[in-house]
Structure 1
Amino acid sequence: MNKTLLFGGLTPLHELFIKGAVESLGYKVKFLPQPDSRSLMLGREFCNRGMCNPTYYTVGNLIKFLLEESKKGIDVEKEYFFVTVGACGPCRFGMYEAEYRHALKEAGFKNFQVSILNQSELSSEGDFELTPSLVWNLVKAVWTGDILRDLGYQLRPYEVEKGSVDEWLSETSGKVYEALKSGAPIKELLSVLKEQRRKLEGITFDYTRIKPVVSVIGEFWAHTTESEGNYFIHRWLEEEGAEVRPEPIAGWIDYQLFIEEEKTKRDLKVKGFSTERLKRLLAVKSMALAFRAFYNLLRSIFYFRPKPLPSQKELAELAKPYFDYFVVGGEGHLEVGKHVYSIIHKKAHMVLSVKPFGCMPSTQSDGAQTRVLSDYPESIFISVETSGDSEVNVKSRIQMKLFEAKRVAEREFYELLEKINVSKRAFELAFQSGELRKPFIKLKGNFVGTAVKALYANQTSVSPFLEIEQWTTST
């Protein structure tokens, strides 16, 4: 095919890697710029009324690009085709394909080609074929993007030289892109990551900074995008003094496979045994295990610092008293399960759920969250809706909860200091050591914050500095 494939809707890091992965199969590929307020306006102009923000932003973003290209004299209907994900289901995501086609027609691009990757049936429609090679290439791209994005958000709040982690990420992403584009085998991709890990070990970090950990969950697009679509919420939280826990896209794929496995088990039980159902069950289970194994392999390159994928079965069990996991659509039970998981496993001081205005599945989960907060009153939780024009209101509400989270993070840290009889000054002196300023120091303990985990895991290193600090104070 001579046309250039267009796609968009994920983070810039993931889109760069997906571009390389698809180019390795011989396609010409271009990802769209991140959506902005102009995209939203065009989406609202050409889409039907009553759609959700992700529709307006993503559809409007494509139309904005096509209009800009048309002004350059390019026949976009001959030059490009667009690939997006489709599905059926109770939320408006099932209407995306029809909405793209309707809006494109209204904008004057009635013959523009749209190809669909159906996530429900693991199939494709149009000229872009969903082959095993494509699936594997996409997994390599997305999983690697998840790992590097996770590392960036974990390390950036503690970097001594501002911008050093982003500089490393920029260099690393370029090398990973080239490896994916060339169709490099797994061994070569892992070698690239190992080489870049060694460079990361040359960057210094200050783990004495006490930061609240904020888990960002919610509707898939709203909590994943890094654009005006969610007010650049991840980076803004960092600027406000938080350590952010983004959700990996791999977790969404893991969720889809889990639901498919549970549905097939139910069919075997209710409809009876069939060879076809058994084959499907084994195929889905094998895929889930293989994908998880590969994710953990990538984590191992960075000494397992990137967070593991939580058990989908455990998330479903945690959500069960509040939300049945067979009620699908949007994130389904995941918002509730992730919230409870963060509380009982001490994964975050605060949970922020971001969703589009009027998202039906998110509204359902918000109703269930009321009961969760009743059962877990210690949780700091806030749910916000993004509409494209409520940024000040949304951020001011988040700031109030973030203030609470900061106080909890400080209390957690100082309680450990008191318990092990260590002063803050001794802790700071100890962590000026080169060995304790590396990216992969020991972090452990039944705590949430990075600083308190660093103190607990390395408290023996603090003792000599405690004696120096006490001697200096007494003299």
Structure 2
Amino acid sequence: MDKTILFGGLTPIHERLIQGAVESQGYKALPLPVPDNQSLAIGREYCNRGMCNPTYYTVGNLIKFLLEEQKKGINVEENYIFATIGACGPCRFGMYETEYKQALRKAGFKNFQIAILNQTTFSSEGTIELTPSLIWQLIKAIWTADILREIGYRLRPYEVENGSIDKLLTEQTETLYHILKKGGKVKEILKSLYQFRKKLQVIRFNFSKVKPVVAVIGEFWAHTTESDGNYHLHRWLEEEGAEVRPEPIAGWIDYQLFITEEKLKKEIKAKGLSKNRIKSLIATKSLSIALKGFYNLLRSVFSFLPKELPSQKYLAQLASPYFDYMVVGGEGHLEVAKHVYYVKHKKCHMVVSVKPFGCMPSTQSDGAQAKVLSDYPESIFISVETSGDAEINVKSRILMKLFEAKKLAEQELSNALRKHKITKREFENACKSENLQKPLIKRSKNYISTAAQVLDANAKQIKSLIREKFSDGLLIPTKNG
């Protein structure tokens, strides 16, 4: 195929690596620019009323790009094709394909081609063939991008030199893009990640900074995008003093496989065993296990710092008192399940659930969240809707909750300091030591905040530094310098 495949809607890291994966199969590929509010305006102009803002942003972003290319004299219908995910169900996501086609016709691109990649059946419609080889390449790209993205959010808030993590991530993303474009053998990806780990070790971090951990969940596009579509929520939270926990895309695919497996089990129970059903069930289960194993293999490169993928079966159990996991559409039961999981297992100080204005599945989840909050009153939780405007209102609401989370993180560190009989000043001074500035330093599981985790896991070393090198908070050289 001579046409260039356009795609978009994920993070810049994901899209660059996906580009490499697609190009490895002989296609030409190009990620669209990050959607902005101009994309929203164009989407609203050409789409039906009542759609969610992910529709407006993604459709508008495509049309904006095509119009700009057309001004350059490029025949976009002959040179480009757009690939997007297809689905069905109660969510408006199932209507995206229709909205793309209608909006393109209105914008004057009636012959522009769209390829649909079905997320549940791993099939395709159009000129792009979703082969096993392409699927495997995409999985390697997405899983690796998940890991890189989380490493950034885990370490960037503590970097001593601002911009050092982003610079290294940009370089590593380009390196992995070229590896994936050439076929992306797992061995080569792992080798590159280990080299990235070595480069990380050179960067210094100050883990005495007290920052609340904030998990961002909600509707898939709204909690994934890093654009005007969610007011650049992740980076803004960082700027406001938080450590952000983004959701990996691998978790979404793991969820899709779990639902497929559960549907097959119910079908077998209702209709009985058959060769095809047993074969499909074994294949789905095996794929789920293999993909989670691959994800853990990538995590192991960084001493398992990126968070694990929780068991989908366990998440369904956590959600069961509030939400039937077989009610699909959007993120289904996951918004409720993730909230309970993060609070019950003390994975974060605060949960932000972000979703498009009027998102039906998320509205259902919000109804159940009221009961979750009554059962877990210690939770600091806020649900916000994004519509392309009302940014000040949304952020001011989040800031009020973030203030509570900051107080909780500070109290947590105070408890850890008392436990080990270390003063805050001593801890801050000890964290200036090179050994305590390493990115993959030991972290305790007894606390949520990174500061408290580092203190708890390295208390003996910190006390030794205090005795040997510190007096009244000042570094005193030893005989060996």
TM-score normalised to the size of structure 2?
A: 0.97
Task: State the Cα distance separating 1:464 from its structure 2 match.
Answer: 3.0
CA distance in 1, matches of 2:16, 2:415: 44
1:123-134 → structure 2 map (5 Å cutoff): 123-134=123-134
Task: State the Cα distance separating 1:465 from its structure 2 match.
Answer: 4.2
Question: For residues 70-92 of structure 1, what are the alpha-carbon distances to aligned partners after superposition, in whole Å with 9 as ceiling and x for unaligned?
Answer: 11111100010000000111110
- 1:431 is aligned to 431
CA distance in 2, matches of 1:308, 1:471: 41
Counterpart code for 1:192? S
Task: State the Cα distance separating 1:444 from its structure 2 match.
Answer: 1.1
- 1:238 is aligned to 238
- 2:340 is aligned to 340
Task: State the Cα distance separating 1:348 from its structure 2 match.
Answer: 0.5
- 1:152 is aligned to 152
Task: State the Cα distance separating 1:470 from its structure 2 match.
Answer: 9.0
1:91-170 → structure 2 map (5 Å cutoff): 91-170=91-170
1:64-83 → structure 2 map (5 Å cutoff): 64-83=64-83
Counterpart code for 1:412? E
Task: State the Cα distance separating 1:438 from its structure 2 match.
Answer: 0.3
Residues 427, 465 of structure 1: 8 Å contact kept: no
CA distance in 2, matches of 1:445, 1:25: 42
Question: For residues 218-259 of structure 1, what are the alpha-carbon distances to aligned partners after superposition, in whole Å with 9 as ceiling and x for unaligned?
Answer: 000000000000000000000000000000000000000000
Compared CA separation, residues 185 and 464, structure 1 to 2 (3 A): closer
Counterpart code for 1:135? I
Q: Does 1:442 align with 2:448?
A: no
- 1:180 is aligned to 180
Q: Does 1:266 align with 2:272?
A: no
Question: For residues 69-124 of structure 1, what are the alpha-carbon distances to aligned partners after superposition, in whole Å with 9 as ceiling and x for unaligned?
Answer: 11111110001000000011111011111111111111111100000001122210
Q: Does 1:31 align with 2:31?
A: yes
- 1:349 is aligned to 349
Residues 88, 120 of structure 1: 8 Å contact kept: no
Question: For residues 379-401 of structure 1, what are the alpha-carbon distances to aligned partners after superposition, in whole Å with 9 as ceiling and x for unaligned?
Answer: 00000000001100000000000
CA distance in 1, matches of 2:448, 2:103: 46
Q: Does 1:301 align with 2:301?
A: yes
Structure 1's unaligned 5+ residue stretches are none
Task: State the Cα distance separating 1:445 from its structure 2 match.
Answer: 2.8
- 2:407 is aligned to 407
Residues 51, 92 of structure 1: 8 Å contact kept: yes
Counterpart code for 1:119? Q
Question: For residues 353-395 of structure 1, what are the alpha-carbon distances to aligned partners after superposition, in whole Å with 9 as ceiling and x for unaligned?
Answer: 0000000000000000000000000000000000001100000
Question: For residues 309-343 of structure 1, what are the alpha-carbon distances to aligned partners after superposition, in whole Å with 9 as ceiling and x for unaligned?
Answer: 11111111000000000000000000000000001
Task: State the Cα distance separating 1:46 from its structure 2 match.
Answer: 0.4
Counterpart code for 2:41? M
Report the number of matched residues: 473
SS of alignment partner, residue 65 of structure 2: helix
CA distance in 2, matches of 1:80, 1:471: 67
- Is the deviation greater in 307-316 or in 207-216? 307-316
CA distance in 2, matches of 1:445, 1:323: 29
Task: State the Cα distance separating 1:139 from its structure 2 match.
Answer: 0.3
CA distance in 1, matches of 2:149, 2:284: 27
Question: For residues 448-469 of structure 1, what are the alpha-carbon distances to aligned partners after superposition, in whole Å with 9 as ceiling and x for unaligned?
Answer: 1000000000000122344479
Residues 137, 184 of structure 2: 8 Å contact kept: no
CA distance in 1, matches of 2:471, 2:147: 44
Residues 429, 465 of structure 1: 8 Å contact kept: no
Task: State the Cα distance separating 1:472 from its structure 2 match.
Answer: 3.3
Q: Does 1:421 align with 2:421?
A: yes
Q: Does 1:41 align with 2:64?
A: no
Question: For residues 142-176 of structure 1, what are the alpha-carbon distances to aligned partners after superposition, in whole Å with 9 as ceiling and x for unaligned?
Answer: 00000000000000000001111111101111100
CA distance in 1, matches of 2:66, 2:472: 68
SS of alignment partner, residue 201 of structure 1: helix
Question: For residues 287-316 of structure 1, what are the alpha-carbon distances to aligned partners after superposition, in whole Å with 9 as ceiling and x for unaligned?
Answer: 101100110111111111111111111111
- 1:201 is aligned to 201
> Percent identical across equivalent pairs?
66
- 2:371 is aligned to 371
CA distance in 1, matches of 2:470, 2:41: 62
- 2:452 is aligned to 452
Q: Structure 1 runs of 4+ off > 2 angstroms?
A: 464-473
TM-score normalised to the size of structure 1?
A: 0.98
SS of alignment partner, residue 427 of structure 1: helix
Counterpart code for 1:17? L
Structure 2's unaligned 5+ residue stretches are 474-481
